[in-house]
Structure 1
Amino acid sequence: MRILLASHGTRGDVQPMIALAVALRHRGHNVRFVTPANFVGWIRGLGFACESDGIDVEEVLRRPDIDVQSFRSQMQYFKTLAPQLFDATARASAGAEIIVGSGVQLAGLSIADLRGVPYVNAIFCPCVVPGSTAPPIRWQRLPSWANRLIWRVGLPIVDALMRGPINACRAQLGLAPVDHPVAMLADCGIVLAADRELAPLPPDAPSTVVQTDAWILNDPAALDPEVDAFLHAGPAPIYIGFGSMVANDLDRIASSIAGAARVCDCRMIVASGWAALHDRLPASDRILVIQSAPHRALFPRVAAIVHHGGAGTTRSATGAGVPQVILPHLLDQYYWARRIELLGLGPASLPVERVAPAALAERIHLVLRDGRFRDRAQEMGTRVAVRDGTAAGVEYLESPHVHRRA
């Protein structure tokens, strides 16, 4: 089967698709990608054909005119994004027999209509399934009825904002306009690739949603010698990293990290990521600043993990059996922060805009001193670490009922 995996977003949106692609290739399927420019080299290096959608996501996140925490700014960006995604996805889809989309893939379903093939929406968090689960917003402690109300009011607003840009792109392809360009994704096949214990499918989810466990990319990479030497040189450090996130006030975050290290009297490994924290954190024998490190190799060797709450990092940290402190920036990260708190794997989250040395140090102290977090993390980690949903994802894509949707 010829399969197009169309993903737009950060690494957390793309890496699970690569894990799925590896499993599909092992089953003899022909897989190609269309992704942001940032990931093309990585994917081609793994032996897959990959088309760039022409967008540098890191550059977008750094643009001063785009506030990723603002709903208005997000919608405006999505409107300008649509034509490029339609063009790139249309080019990459030639010959495809099925299209699987993830992240902010605004074009995938329309291109599947154009080609007359099935479309499957891959999601990595239940908070994008309309219903009793809170949507990807800051307020995660509301009752189920309030969550349903927010969905009922909010989804038509998003549809109205995106209807014009998406229908303009559809018209250029000779496709009829649609009234509900976002809500109609619920009518196609949806795969929730998330650990069933960490992120269970809500009971009122539509019948079109199928849950596998998370799609895990086996990364055999070893730690850099510098990181390994730092780990051996003293007590287990705290890991701090925010992946692809670029916060508005990086100087404040960097000073908060340095201040928390002093207050807690602990060692830290700080992954600079796209935030470029290495430019702001002074060199120290207590703090090692790196660009990135393979989570599978590093996380089991640290005392606690401070991160942004992305789906992939949360799953990796949970599988490592290590307590977590989450500093959510936006969207589904608020969901993961609340889940970690509810499961007893970490304290209440600290939104990134409220980060300060004392507040960060307080949460680090808490997970280091309260053995209940460590015990619960180790207990759950032994179960989560062995679960991988890629085989189930392949079986779903091969199932006849998916292809009857075309």
Structure 2
Amino acid sequence: MHVLLATAGSRGDVSPYTGLGVRLIAEGHKVTIATHAPFEEMVRACGLDFRALPGDPREALKSEDGQKWSQAKSSAIGMFRQMKVLKKEMVRAAGALADVAEEEGPDVLLAAPMVSTIAYSVAKGLRVPSAGVFLSPSYPTREFAPILSKGGSFGPLGNVLAANAMVRMVGSAYAPASAVVRERYGLPKLSVGQALREQNTEKWPVFNGYSRHVIPRPADWREGMEVCGYWWPHVAPGWQPPAELVEFLEAGPPPVFVGFGSMVPGDGEHLGRLAATALRQAGVRGVVQAGWADMSSLQDENLITIGDVPHEWLFPRMAAVVHHAGAGTSAAALRAGVPAIPVPVLADQPFWSGTLARLGVATPPVPMSTITADRLGAAVHAAVTDPRFRERATALSALINAEDGAAPVVEFLKRL
């Protein structure tokens, strides 16, 4: 079958699908990933076909609206600002995705959350089956608060009410884009709420690419929604670690990783100095990943600054990892079995931060909005000196690595 997989967002919203795509190719399918142009090289290096969707998430986060989003003091304000950023992009993305789907002629359309509402309507218009492939639990449940809140629970009723409120807020950003697609194919007009009810009635398949040992499947989810296990980013064949990084790792005890992935929190030079001070206070060596924050190179024999290095290779060699708690980086730390120090910035990161802390594999979060070298240094020291963090992380890693997250998607395609 020809599978068109559509996704949008940061690198962490794209890289897990390279692993899923490679697995589907191994099962005999043709796989095309449609996403932003900056990720073309990463996708093609994995042997996957690529089609471009408009937008550059890095530039969006650097924009005035993107900076306001990342600096929001509450989840509600952050959500409002996020929708303002997304609304500008979604109408263009909707037309582009429809164009790509018509040109590619797929047998099935798989969609990540950011584009799932649009992709669902495109698939209806082209009369091909579709399914959601999500990296976080995105449907309402009584069991925990919605992922775009700060996690935890508001109680069964409060969780559902909060989730439905967020669905309405998100729907306001996607409604114009969805309307464009439905008009293009002569489909009946539907609000986002009506589309979700239609999906529920049809038992539209949704595959959630995370482990049940991290977030169990809610008992009140409908049939057709599966928790599969993680989809791991594919490492391009022939990749080799930088020689200077290997030399640094071999020159002393395991260091602590510090990186904030696709986040652009502002002054990279300041953030780099803060990280260096925190690691020095904790008495550990450090591997600092520049990332989209552009954390500057640091002149310290106990630190090394790196670019992109596959987390599956790097994290098992670390004493602990300081990260922004995006879904993908959180998964990589869990896979490696190393303690984490979450530094959430926005979106679902507070949710994953709280989840890691409750599992006992991470320290309490150190939010980017209130971070100091002293707070970060104390958290790093706790993570590397309290053996319980490592013990729990190792045990959970064994459970996660025993799962085959791609298998349910493979079976779905076989049934089609």
Q: Calculate the TM-score normalised by the size of structure 1.
A: 0.92
Question: Match of 1:119?
Answer: 130
| More moved, 39-48 vs 16-25 | 39-48
Residues in 2 aligned to 1:286 and 1:138: alpha-carbon distance in whole angstroms: 37
Question: Match of 1:239?
Answer: 257
1:295-306 to structure 2, matched below 5 A, reads 295-306=311-322
Deviation, 1:155, is 2.1
Residue pair 2:152, 2:351 contacting (<8 A) in 1 also: no
Sequence identity of aligned pairs in percent?
A: 29
| More moved, 157-166 vs 330-339 | 157-166
Unaligned 5+ segments in structure 1 are 401-406
Residues in 1 aligned to 2:5 and 2:170: alpha-carbon distance in whole angstroms: 24
Question: Match of 2:190?
Answer: 178
Deviation, 1:363, is 0.4
Residues in 2 aligned to 1:30 and 1:310: alpha-carbon distance in whole angstroms: 29
Residues in 1 aligned to 2:173 and 2:114: alpha-carbon distance in whole angstroms: 15
| More moved, 158-167 vs 117-126 | 158-167
Where 2:413 maps in the other structure, the secondary structure is helix
Amino acid at match of 1:104: M
Deviation, 1:171, is 2.1
Deviation, 1:20, is 1.6
Query: Does 2:232 correspond to 1:216?
Result: yes
| More moved, 102-111 vs 225-234 | 102-111
Amino acid at match of 2:281: V
Deviation, 1:262, is 2.2
Residue pair 2:261, 2:324 contacting (<8 A) in 1 also: yes
Residues in 2 aligned to 1:349 and 1:176: alpha-carbon distance in whole angstroms: 45
Where 1:255 maps in the other structure, the secondary structure is helix
Question: Match of 1:323?
Answer: 339
Deviation, 1:186, is 5.0
| More moved, 62-71 vs 292-301 | 62-71
Render the CA deviation track for 1:262-299: whole Å, top value 9, x for unaligned: 21121100111111112xx5321121111121112111
Question: Match of 1:259?
Answer: 277
Residues in 1 aligned to 2:273 and 2:344: alpha-carbon distance in whole angstroms: 18
1:324-403 to structure 2, matched below 5 A, reads 324-400=340-416
Residues in 1 aligned to 2:199 and 2:188: alpha-carbon distance in whole angstroms: 19
Where 2:292 maps in the other structure, the secondary structure is helix
Render the CA deviation track for 1:55-110: whole Å, top value 9, x for unaligned: 22211121123233422221122222122212221122131121001141152111
Question: Match of 1:314?
Answer: 330
- What CA RMSD, in Å, does the superposition of the two structures yield over aligned residues? 2.0
Question: Match of 1:159?
Answer: 171
Residue pair 1:122, 1:190 contacting (<8 A) in 2 also: yes
Amino acid at match of 1:302: M
Q: Residue 162 of structure 2: which of 150, 169, 188 is its match?
A: 150
Where 1:65 maps in the other structure, the secondary structure is helix
Residue pair 1:240, 1:269 contacting (<8 A) in 2 also: yes
Where 2:159 maps in the other structure, the secondary structure is helix
Residues in 1 aligned to 2:24 and 2:277: alpha-carbon distance in whole angstroms: 47
| More moved, 268-277 vs 89-98 | 89-98
Render the CA deviation track for 1:212-256: whole Å, top value 9, x for unaligned: 111123426332111110011111110011111111454543232
Render the CA deviation track for 1:186-233: whole Å, top value 9, x for unaligned: 532111111121222222122231121111234263321111100111
Residue pair 1:253, 1:356 contacting (<8 A) in 2 also: no
Question: Match of 2:2?
Answer: 2
1:32-111 to structure 2, matched below 5 A, reads 32-66=32-66, 67-69=68-70, 70-94=78-102, 95-105=105-115, 106-111=117-122
Where 2:398 maps in the other structure, the secondary structure is helix
Where 1:93 maps in the other structure, the secondary structure is helix
Q: Which runs of 4+ in 1 moved over 4 A?
A: none
Question: Match of 1:403?
Answer: none
Residues in 2 aligned to 1:269 and 1:367: alpha-carbon distance in whole angstroms: 16
Unaligned 5+ segments in structure 2 are 71-77
| More moved, 339-348 vs 241-250 | 241-250
Residues in 1 aligned to 2:411 and 2:146: alpha-carbon distance in whole angstroms: 28
Deviation, 1:391, is 2.5
Residue pair 2:79, 2:347 contacting (<8 A) in 1 also: no
Where 1:167 maps in the other structure, the secondary structure is helix
